[in-house]
Each structure stands twice: as C-alpha cells, then as structure tokens.
Amino acid sequence: MRKLLNTLYVTTPEAYLTRDGLNVVVSVDKEERFRIPVMNVESIVTFGYLGASPGLMKLCIDNKVSLVFMSPQGRFIGRVQGATHGNVLLRKRQYKLSEDENWALHLAKLFISGKVFNTRGILQRFIRDNGSDKEVGSVIKQLDWRKKRILQAENMDVLRGEEGHAANAYFEIFDHLILNQKNDFPFHGRSRRPPKDEVNAMLSFVYALIANDVAAALESVGLDPYVGFMHSLRPGRSSLALDMMEEFRGYLGDRLVLSMINRKQVNKKDFIRQGDESFVMTDECRKEVLITWQKRKKEMIMHPFLKERIPIGLLPYSQALLLARFIRDDLDDYPVFLMK
C-alpha cells in the first residue's frame, strides 16, 4: 500500500511558489515564509492567483508531485500535469468502456448507491448517538427505497433523477444534524454557486479537497481522471474523479463539516458575506478546516473490502486501485466504498 505523505496547503492568496534546488519555497511580497524538501510532499494545493514559477512546476513534475491551483474561495482552477506514465492498455480499455452505455450505467449505479448508503449511515449514526428522531427516521426509510430504485434504474436519466430525489431528502434534514450554534449556522438546502450560507461554503470547500485527492489517486494508478462514466465529458473537467468522489462525500465531507460546527471549531465570525447571497470563509477558517482535514486523513480505519487497516487519506487511492482492477477484469465487480 502506498505511503501517505503530506499535502502542502498554501492558503495565503498573495503567496508565490518557487524552487530552490530540491526545495519548495513559499514567498509573500518576495519574502520567504516557508520551505520544504519536495520529497516530503505528495501534493501541493495553493489558494491564490499569483501562482508558481516554471522551475517549481518542473520540480513537481519530475518528482510526481501534484500541483493544484484553487481560487481563494476554494474553486478549482487547474492542475499541473507532466507526461502520462499510466498503463496505456488500462487507459485504452477505460476509454472503450466509457462509451459502453450498459457498462457505464452499471458503474454509475454503484457510485450513487454507495453515496446514498453512506449518507444514510450518517443519519443512522445521529439517531444512535442522540436518540430517536421521527423526521430523520423517515428520511432513512426514504433513502433505503431510493437506493433500491437507483440499482434498478434502466438508464442514466432515471438514475440522475433518483439521485436528485435522494439528495434533496437528505439535505432537507441536514440541519437536524447541527446540534450546536444552530442559529449561527442556518441551513435551508444545498446551494453551490454561490454558496448561500456558511454551511454550504464549508461543504463546497471540502468537496473540492476530496475531488482533488480522488483525481490524484486515479492518476497514480494509471487511470485518466478526465474520462468518466456518469458525469459528462467537458474540457478541464475531471469527470471520473467527480464520479468516484460520490461515495466519499458523506463519509469524508459531510461528517467533517458537521463535526467542526458541533465542536465549535468554527463560528459565525469565520465567514464573510459577499453581496446578498454568498458566503466565503476567512483565511483563518480555511486554515482550521485544512488542519482538521489533514488530521482526519491520518486516522486509521478497517477497509470494508480489503480487510486491511489503512489511513483514511488513502481511501481514494485504494478505491482507484480497485476500480483499475475491475476495468482490467481482475475483479468481477467494483466494490464501492460502504462504511457504517
């Protein structure tokens, strides 16, 4: 199993990244603030517009370090990628299967059923920890029913419709899971662009982190993260990463956001209103989320299919590896990540 290395998150918007020998150097206003040997990092994610020097980009490419550029609000801008070293036969088969409607539908069903199962698990855990809740219990039953319909979907349009109904039901009850700071963190449903409240701002930010980790994992096992089976192909869109991250949204994303709010690791002052209907996190809030995210990735779990203890941060890699095996016909089916 691959070793879990550090991800370097550069949250200062005015930061500029350069190279000094085999070191990554972070400077602000031409003053060095931080440096680290490139062999000590697995990926670099920078939130700003100043970017990085060509020398630093080459250093990352030569050492297979992912370099990702995000806006200060956490929106994906681009990724520096060197020559493709993946298995050409694996990618050729991936491209062929992506055009097979039945094969793509089968895999999409697994991704979405996994997503529904894991969000259902969040609600079950809430009841287990806090006692019976009629409304939450009703949504659990609805998700059970939706999951069955998802697995029975005859085409991608029906599947997307069932996914939408399941997501709406889940997010309609999401505010019940916020136990502390309820008045400071109102939530009236999922809103993406722009996020219309503090909770949505956190969810969008964490989902972007998950998508980046999944894309890097797919690259590392030889798959093309831009050719998916459910999300439509679009220039610059990592469709396969968006497909696979569905099974991680609840377990890695939603639980982190709920935990930080309920433990009061963030508060209302950590967010800035932009215009009438948009919220962004402050720089300090982003740092706190990233610190918590990094700690979470180091926690150990028993992988439900591999039956091996791994760091949570390696979940995207382990699932990418299993997907590659399924595409190569080394596995009879793709074992979607299901966690209770």
Give CA–CA dist 55/195, Å, rounded.
Answer: 36
| Domain map (residue ranges) of the chain | 6-80, 88-327
pTM of the model: 0.83
Q: Return phi, psi of residue 190, to 5°.
A: -75, 125
CATH class of 6-80: alpha beta
Alpha-carbon distance 303 to 324, whole Å?
17
Q: Which amino acid is at 278?
A: S
Assess if CATH 1.20.120.920 describes domain 88-327: yes
DSSP assignment, residue 48?
S
Residue by residue, DSSP assigns 113-167 as: HHHHHHHHHHHHHHHHHH---HHHHHHHHHHHHHHHHHHT-SSHHHHHHHHHHHH
Helix axes 315-327, 198-220, angle to 10 degrees: 50
Q: What is the pLDDT along the chain (340 residues), one digit of tens a residue?
A: 455 557 788 878 788 999 999 999 999 888 998 889 988 887 788 877 788 899 999 998 888 887 888 777 667 777 777 666 567 888 999 999 999 999 999 999 999 999 999 999 999 999 998 887 888 899 999 999 999 999 999 999 999 999 999 999 999 999 999 999 888 898 888 887 788 889 999 999 999 999 988 988 888 788 889 999 988 777 667 899 999 999 999 999 999 999 999 999 999 999 888 876 788 888 889 889 999 998 898 899 998 888 888 888 888 888 998 999 999 898 999 999 998 7
**DSSP secondary structure of 88-102:** HHHHHHHHHHHT-HH
What pLDDT score was predicted for residue 46?
Answer: 85
Give the alpha-carbon dihedral of 166, 169, 172, 178, to 10 degrees: -80
Q: Which DSSP letter does residue 76 get? A: E
β-bridge partners, 301: 310
The residues pairing with 44 across neighbouring beta strands, listed in sequence order, are: 8, 67
Q: Are 317 and 2 in contact (CB under 8 A)?
A: yes
pLDDT at site 1: 46
Measured CA to CA, the distance from residue 292 to residue 311 in angstroms comes to 14
